[in-house]
């Protein structure tokens, strides 16, 4: 449900609120001297083969490939660089991934700290990086016009975009240009994109069609974001992605699918998993669709139905929110020898692994070392195998911390921007109803606010009016009440 953003002046109390949240959630704000020293030393000495990798392993020179990066505006922690070309019978995708392991000791201060942090955390006024910026935004980042150590994926697809073969090896690459989403979208749309970038649309759309064919679930839920605007103000808005973001995501998904296949064939690795939704859950979502008056033929699958829902239509936005309940329980599973019982990601409808964001996610570094060894036909380094069983719990803690931080930031900004509007009436849509707790979730049309309301009297999907009774920034709390329909 897109809306105009709310802008907040950058004042000391506002920044103080973010600082207090980080303190309460024990978000780290700095690195130890030992971590910073290792980062400085590594950035100076440059990349090297990690421990346990045979010295005979070659690092190929692929600076001839015209890579570009496609990321959010202002990003400096660049994990991936993309290029593609046509083949006689399909396409070849080149995907370069930052070689983080080439800069850090597996048992050193940076590695140990990364296992504690697990993921990069983002606040509106700063980021809390997984690795020191000397590496994550410097020597290890795939910045444009710089020779960089990378893990190079070469992925062959047929004419329909189906995976035929994939291979991973260490390489030296050089990105030609750093593009943000708007730049990439504009060039593709106006026909000025070079062939490789233009193929991002072609391949992305083919992969999207195959995703639908597999029965993968794609939820277009509007998410709240607090971002730092170009005018120096903080912006609270619903994120509405461009098509190029979806095409770009398909390259990452393709790589993760290829990675999982290699590790499963090789007998060890680290997977990203999600169990299938319970039949009872899907049935309840169908019932919600029926109550909302949304056509859902018996032969139409859950995945096909939610893929076609439009978040701009109130009742469909409500069903999208309900549908998210079926996508709970994502996690990681490490294996060595016996294959895990759960090895698929139900939303992707395939085996899948996280391997494309090692600068921002610790799991990827370990999975990539297993894949490199399997592709290079040498033994996976012992340090990677030994650490893998720890990764699922480490990632679980990191992701949980990330979600708590995101929620606290959004709740705080909501309270700040709404405090002066206490007593006003707003248009909203009921997107969830909990009759047991007598509560509902509402989504305001403007500003970009999602909140709980102490009533279950309104129907799911109903368009209602609510009054803002209070907004207390210090408690990150807002309270609405339903205005009864006078009809």
**Neighbouring C-beta atoms of residue 341, cutoff 10 Å:** 8
Q: Kindly list the structural domains of the chain, giving each domain's residue range(s) and its CATH number in brackets, ordered by start.
A: 6-275+329-402 (no CATH), 279-324 (no CATH), 422-482 (2.40.50.140)
**Of 43-57, 155-169, 260-274, 310-324, minimum mean pLDDT range:** 310-324
Average pLDDT over residues 57-81: 96
Backbone angles phi, psi at 87, to 5 degrees: -115, 170
Instruction: Name which of 76, 80, 267, 243 is nearest 155 in CA terms.
Output: 80
Alpha carbon distances (Å) from 281 to 293, 349, 461, 481: 19, 18, 19, 29
- Determine how β-strand 147-158 pairs with β-strand 60-61: unpaired
Instruction: Name which of 65, 20, 84, 71 is nearest 408 in CA terms.
Output: 20
| CA separation for the pair 202, 91 (Å, rounded) | 10
Q: Is 70 within 8 Å of 144 (Cβ atoms)?
A: no
- Taking the whole predicted model, whether its pTM rises above 0.75 is answered as yes
237 confidence band (pLDDT: 50, 70, 90): low
Average pLDDT over residues 253-271: 98
Residue 377 above 80 pLDDT?
yes
Q: Is 303 within 8 Å of 349 (Cβ atoms)?
A: yes
In the beta sheet, which residues pair with residue 234?
8, 228
Who contacts 378 (Cβ-Cβ below 8 Å, separation ≥6)? 53, 54, 57
User: For residues 298 and 78, which has the higher predicted lDDT (pLDDT)?
Assistant: 78
Q: Is 331 within 8 Å of 251 (Cβ atoms)?
A: no
Q: Is 52 within 8 Å of 384 (Cβ atoms)?
A: yes
Average pLDDT over residues 128-155: 98
* Size (the chain), residues: 487
3-state secondary structure 437-464: CCEEEEEECCCCCEEEECCCCCCCCCEE
Q: Is 391 within 8 Å of 362 (Cβ atoms)?
A: yes
Average model confidence (pLDDT) for the chain?
90
């Amino acid at each position: 449900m897109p809306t105009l953003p709310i802008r907040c002046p950058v004042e000391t109390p506002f920044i103080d609120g973010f600082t207090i949240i980080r303190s309460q959630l024990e978000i780290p704000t700095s690195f130890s001297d030992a971590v910073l020293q290792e980062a400085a030393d590594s950035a100076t000495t440059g990349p090297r083969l990690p421990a346990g990798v045979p010295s005979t392993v070659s690092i190929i020179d692929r600076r001839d490939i015209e890579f570009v990066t496609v990321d959010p505006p202002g990003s400096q922690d660049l994990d991936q660089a993309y290029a593609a070309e046509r083949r006689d019978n399909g396409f070849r995708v080149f995907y370069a991934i930052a070689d983080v392991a080439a800069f850090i000791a597996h048992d050193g201060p940076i590695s140990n700290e990364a296992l504690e942090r697990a993921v990069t955390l983002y606040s509106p006024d700063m980021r809390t990086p997984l690795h020191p910026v000397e590496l994550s935004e410097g020597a290890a980042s795939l910045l444009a016009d710089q020779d960089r150590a990378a893990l190079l994926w070469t992925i062959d697809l047929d004419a329909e975009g189906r995976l035929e073969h994939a291979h991973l090896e260490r390489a030296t690459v050089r990105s030609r240009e750093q593009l943000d989403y708007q730049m990439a979208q504009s060039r593709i749309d106006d026909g000025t994109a070079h062939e490789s970038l233009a193929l991002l649309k072609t391949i992305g759309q083919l992969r999207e069609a195959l995703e639908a064919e597999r029965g993968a679930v794609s939820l277009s839920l509007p998410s709240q974001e607090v971002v730092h605007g170009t005018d120096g103000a903080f912006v609270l808005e619903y994120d509405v992605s461009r098509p190029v973001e979806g095409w770009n995501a398909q390259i990452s998904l393709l790589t993760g699918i290829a990675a999982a296949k290699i590790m499963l064939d090789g007998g060890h690795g680290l997977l990203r998993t999600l169990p299938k939704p319970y039949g009872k859950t899907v049935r309840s979502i169908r019932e919600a669709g029926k109550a909302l008056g949304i056509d859902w033929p018996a032969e139409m699958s859950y995945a096909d139905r939610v893929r076609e829902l439009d978040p701009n239509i109130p009742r469909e936005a409500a069903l999208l929110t309900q549908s998210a309940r079926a996508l709970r329980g994502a996690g990681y599973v490490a294996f060595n020898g016996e294959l895990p019982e759960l090895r698929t990601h139900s939303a992707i409808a395939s085996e899948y692994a996280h391997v494309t964001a090692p600068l921002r996610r610790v799991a990827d570094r370990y999975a990539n070392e297993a894949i490199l060894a399997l592709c290079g036909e040498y033994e996976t380094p012992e340090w990677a195998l030994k650490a893998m069983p720890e990764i699922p719990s480490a990632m679980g803690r990191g992701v949980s911390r990330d979600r708590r931080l995101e929620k606290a930031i959004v709740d705080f900004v909501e309270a700040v921007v709404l405090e002066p509007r206490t007593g006003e009436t707003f248009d909203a849509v009921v997107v969830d109803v909990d009759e047991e707790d007598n509560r509902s979730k509402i989504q305001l049309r403007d500003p970009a606010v999602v909140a709980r309301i102490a009533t279950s009297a309104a129907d799911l999907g109903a368009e209602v009016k609510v009054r803002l009774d209070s907004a207390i920034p210090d408690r990150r709390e807002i309270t609405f009440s339903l205005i009864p329909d006078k009809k």
